[in-house]
Amino acid sequence: MADRIASSVTAGSVLVEVAEGDITDQQGFDAVVNAANAQLLPGGGVAGALHRAAGPGLAEEGRALAPIRPGECVITGGHRLANPWVIHCLGPVYRMDEPAEQLLASCYRKALELAERRGLTSVAFPAISTGVFGYPMEEAAAVALRTVLEVAPRLEKVRRVRFVLMGSRALQVHTRALERLAGGGGGGQGRP
């Protein structure tokens, strides 16, 4: 099933999209982002789904890079995914890892910086920390989108960023946040 793009804006030369879809099925993206655990092992949510789709090689490769700390990112191959790369980010556990907002922003910023250093042109993100880590969706969406929109104008290689969301509520929250941060655009192209 194709992703349903609900909203998009252009920040610098980067197209930023909000879509409902499956993070494990992002055809044409250089990298997908894993909402990882510290040990980069299979788990629930996004991490479990990506590990199941990528196969055991993802965990094997990640073993040498673990552990990571909240706000940190590392990159591995995509293994059996359609994407050549997986960027693993450890988001903060809400009300445990502080300062949560800075750590969450660090995930998005460092993932884009890592993609830029590798010469990647497209990255698909899930809503990091909003599952079992308990970060409220509205707050997380604002931090994530604000960070991406701030970093995007400085990117030279990355040209497309997609937020891939599960369910209509997550999609609506991220769409509203993107439109608010981009100056109230109505779902089309705009400039933040």
pLDDT in tens, 133-142: 999 999 999 9
Q: Is residue 187 a part of any domain in this protein?
A: no
CATH number where 154 lies:
3.40.220.10
44 vs 29, residue with greater confidence: 29
Q: Is residue 81 a part of any domain in this protein?
A: yes
* Count of domains for the chain: 1
Q: Is residue 58 a part of any domain in this protein?
A: yes
- What band does 183 get if pLDDT is binned at 50, 70 and 90? confident
Q: Is residue 192 a part of any domain in this protein?
A: no
Q: Is residue 186 a part of any domain in this protein?
A: no
H-assigned helices in the chain: 45-54, 56-63, 100-118, 137-151, 168-181
Q: Is residue 51 a part of any domain in this protein?
A: yes
Global pTM value? 0.93
Q: Is residue 115 a part of any domain in this protein?
A: yes
Q: Is residue 190 a part of any domain in this protein?
A: no
3 vs 15, residue with greater confidence: 15
Question: Do β-strands 73-77 and 14-20 pair in parallel, antiparallel, or remain unpaired?
Answer: unpaired
The residue-averaged pLDDT of 92-108 equals 97
Mean pLDDT rounded to a whole number for the chain: 94
**DSSP letters along 103-134, please?**
HHHHHHHHHHHHHHHHT--EEEE--TTSSTT-
Residue range(s) defining the domain that contains residue 153: 4-181
Residue 186 pLDDT > 70: no
